[in-house]
Structure 1
Amino acid sequence: MDDIDIEEMNSNERDELLGASGTGVLSLTTDEPAPYSRPVSYGYDQTESVFYFRLALSSDSVKGDLAGRVVSFVTYGQVETGWRSVIATGALEETTDESTGIEALQGLERTHIPLIDIFGKPPKEVSFGFYRLVPTEFTTRKEGKTEL
């Protein structure tokens, strides 16, 4: 019988998982008892270790202003040897801000953000904003096996 051992991933393993881009869950604090957590698509720039998000904007949104908000982003995947997960935390930055504009353009060119229709209406009818997350912390985990 095998026991599951949990290990940290190295930066190459982390970048391999994130480099495919895809989906995950973005969470931010609110005035409510529970955090605001939603599935999102993302692009990941391996060169700078930065995430890019295309986030739906709405005037009646409970998210409020996103720029400068501290968030956590979680994604996971399955490979032959087991599961992998990454949690990244940091503050969201608008990519249109002058201080991040040029860097963001270069980073966006190195990524692909999947367009996922989760809004109940065609994506072309939804207003989006582009944000980036430069993580202040990464937490990585992978499944390992220990023989008994």
Structure 2
Amino acid sequence: MARTDMDAIEIADFLRSQRTGVLCLARDDDSYGVPLSFVYRDDDSGIYFRMGYAPGSQKRKFLDATDHATFVVYGQTDEGWRSVVAEGTLDVLTEDNVDSAVEEATKALDIPYYEVHDRPVEDLEFNIVRLQISHLSGIVEGHEGR
């Protein structure tokens, strides 16, 4: 199998075609990875998440402590395995700084409230979080001659 780097167009196409990935957060010498649904917008170099937090949430504690985050998206395609790694800073957005397109896109994300959180939605706090991408890379591990 050959391994090749993805170009910017391939990375953007792949991110637009995917809906889930793993957000990696860090606090001191401890790390925390959480699978999340996401929306990618290449017009502003942002990946958006609609995050739900239960009271005392580990995810919230790590989000607040993380200066630099990594988000990994991967999947099998007809050409082989693809993965994209996005690095950058996280911003918790307020209603005042979320444009309507982002708000609508994040509302459409598949968030399995009851299966994951095991509590009513009313008991959860929700925020839209943006990963401002500072570095983006991708690889394809596929067939020879790609």
Aligned to 1:135, the other structure's residue is in SS state strand
Q: How does 1:100-111 map to 2 (within 5 A)?
A: 101=97, 104-105=98-99, 108=102, 111=105
**Which residue of structure 1 aligns with residue 87 of structure 2?**
89
Q: Deviations over 1:3-23 (max 9, x none)?
A: x11111111111111113411
For residues 76 and 120 of structure 2, the distance between their equivalents in structure 1, rounded to whole angstroms, comes to: 30
Q: Any conservation in 2 of the 1:89–1:137 contact (CA below 8 Å)? A: yes
For these two proteins, the number of residue pairs brought into alignment is 139
**Which residue of structure 1 aligns with residue 128 of structure 2?**
130
Unaligned segments of structure 2, at least 5 residues: none
Higher helix share: 2
Q: Summarize the Cα distance change of 1:97–1:50 in structure 2 as closer, same or farther, 3 Å threshold.
A: same
Q: Pairwise CA RMSD of aligned residues?
A: 2.5
Q: Any conservation in 2 of the 1:21–1:114 contact (CA below 8 Å)? A: no
**Which residue of structure 2 aligns with residue 22 of structure 1?**
19
> TM-score, with normalisation over the residues of structure 2?
0.80
* Identity %, equivalent residues: 30
Cα shift at 1:122: 4.6
> TM-score, with normalisation over the residues of structure 1?
0.79
Matched, 1:8 2:5: yes
Q: Any conservation in 2 of the 1:9–1:142 contact (CA below 8 Å)? A: yes
Aligned to 2:69, the other structure's residue is in SS state strand
